[in-house]
Amino acid sequence: MTLILAIETSCDETAAAVIQDGHLIRSNVVASQIEIHRAYGGVFPEIASRQHVFDIVPVVEAALADAEVNWADLQALAVTRGPGLAGSLLVGVNTAKAIAWARGLPIVGVNHLEGHLYSNWLDEGGKINPDAILRPSLAELDAAGEAFPLLVLVVSGGHTELIIMRGHGQYERLGATLDDAAGEAFDKVARLIGLGYPGGPAVQKAAEGGDPKRFDFPRGLTNYANQPEHRYNFSFSGLKTAVLRQVRELNPEGGGELPVADLAASFQTAVVDVLIAKTARAASALGVKRICICGGVAANKALREAAQTRLPVPASIPPFFLCTDNAAMIGAAAHHRLLTQGASGLDFDVEPGLTLEMLA
């Protein structure tokens, strides 16, 4: 049995988890800073890193206590080294290094995107999580040789990427957003139509009572004949501008009432259409065995529904609590990295601009 203590502080969540054998969640503690950043309408980097300093030790201690393990039971440390906010990453990396050095344990620096991907490898010990889409988990499919080649759609606040994964540690990026990430578009549009932060859950809630066909917003880079080189790339800035233009047209003086539900539903439908269309194209063209969707936007209910009905290959999507940032996913990624590449050594640094290809 291997037990990894994982730490994640790349943005505004201070998180620690204990992961057994690369897939079993023994504990998963997340201290969210959402309430603190809400006043600023987004993450305030300096405040985020200070809050990580306050929270990191109690969060790590809680992760050990919840898992009912002691320091002596651990075999390795895992920590997010990038991408993310430099000041935030530093808190997690320095904490993990200090523990690794004091306990004489190996440490693995993990790419946050690789973490999101491995959220699909996690399980809760035979308990079927009703929120998870498609069991068996990727860990079980992998064990049966049925996971690869795997098409991965990472949709978070900072990234929107389509990646083909041919095995552990083997990534090839097919495409990515040329401007805003999908989650960023949700956050910006939420602000435009007067909804709070974080925008994704607020837009989703507002969209529930709305008419998704009322506004015909653009589906960026879906003119495949004219722009074949962008068939797997994304662009959400035109969509954001179209929403802005619509808001101004509906409410030229400002201060008036907006049809928020219809705007939210029409916007959300446009995002989901593009994400699903490009994922479906890539899956068919590349003949993958499986699709995996991960990152904060994978928590979106409309996307989850569309993924179950409009994709040519079954898609795995983790339960809601594993879509947004957490340390369990970092522990799962570290387990495979340890097996394929070994530990990182104590001299690695944070890498705010790290990409997945830099690991391949």
* C-beta of residue 282 within 8 angstroms of C-beta of residue 95: no
In the complex, minimum distance from the CB of residue 30 to Zn ion, in angstroms, rounded to a whole number: 12
For tokens 């290809």, what's the residue? 357
Should residue 11 be labelled a site residue for ligand KG4 when binding is judged by CB under 6 A?
A: yes
Select from Zn ion, ligand KG4, none the partner in contact with residue 187, using the beta carbon and a kind-dependent cut-off of 5 to 8 Å.
ligand KG4
Please report, for the chain, how many H helices and E strands are present, in that order.
12, 10
* C-beta of residue 239 within 8 angstroms of C-beta of residue 220: yes
Nearer to ligand KG4 among residue 231 and residue 304 (C-beta): 304
Helix (H) or strand (E) holding 340: helix 328-341
Nearer to ligand KG4 among residue 3 and residue 155 (C-beta): 155
Q: Which residues, 142 to 201, sit near Zn ion by CB under 5 A? A: 156
Nearer to ligand KG4 among residue 107 and residue 297 (C-beta): 297
Binding mask 316-355 for ligand KG4 (x = CB under 6 A): --------xx------------------------------
Close Cβ partners of 358 (under 8 Å, ≥ 6 residues apart): 111, 351
Should residue 80 be labelled a site residue for Zn ion when binding is judged by CB under 5 A?
A: no
Q: Which DSSP symbol is given to 214?
A: S
Tell me the site size for ligand KG4, rule CB under 6 A. Answer: 20
Select from ligand KG4, Zn ion, none the partner in contact with residue 200, using the beta carbon and a kind-dependent cut-off of 5 to 8 Å.
ligand KG4
In the complex, minimum distance from the CB of residue 17 to Zn ion, in angstroms, rounded to a whole number: 14
In the complex, minimum distance from the CB of residue 184 to ligand KG4, in angstroms, rounded to a whole number: 6
Close Cβ partners of 259 (under 8 Å, ≥ 6 residues apart): 210, 214, 250
* C-beta of residue 203 within 8 angstroms of C-beta of residue 268: yes
- The rounded Cα 118 to chain-centroid distance in angstroms is 10
* Single-letter residue type at 237: S
Close Cβ partners of 219 (under 8 Å, ≥ 6 residues apart): 239, 270, 273, 274, 277
For tokens 């996690």, what's the residue? 122
In the complex, minimum distance from the CB of residue 306 to Zn ion, in angstroms, rounded to a whole number: 21
In the complex, minimum distance from the CB of residue 203 to ligand KG4, in angstroms, rounded to a whole number: 6
In the list 8, 187, 262, 351, the residue contacting ligand KG4 (rule: CB under 6 A) is: 187
Torsion sign across C-alpha atoms 144, 146, 148, 151? negative
Should residue 269 be labelled a site residue for ligand KG4 when binding is judged by CB under 6 A?
A: no
Q: Which region, judged by CB under 6 A, interacts with ligand KG4, from 167-175, 192-200, 238-246, 249-257? A: 192-200
Applying CB under 6 A, which residues contact ligand KG4?
11, 156-158, 183-184, 186-187, 198-201, 204, 295-297, 299-300, 324-325
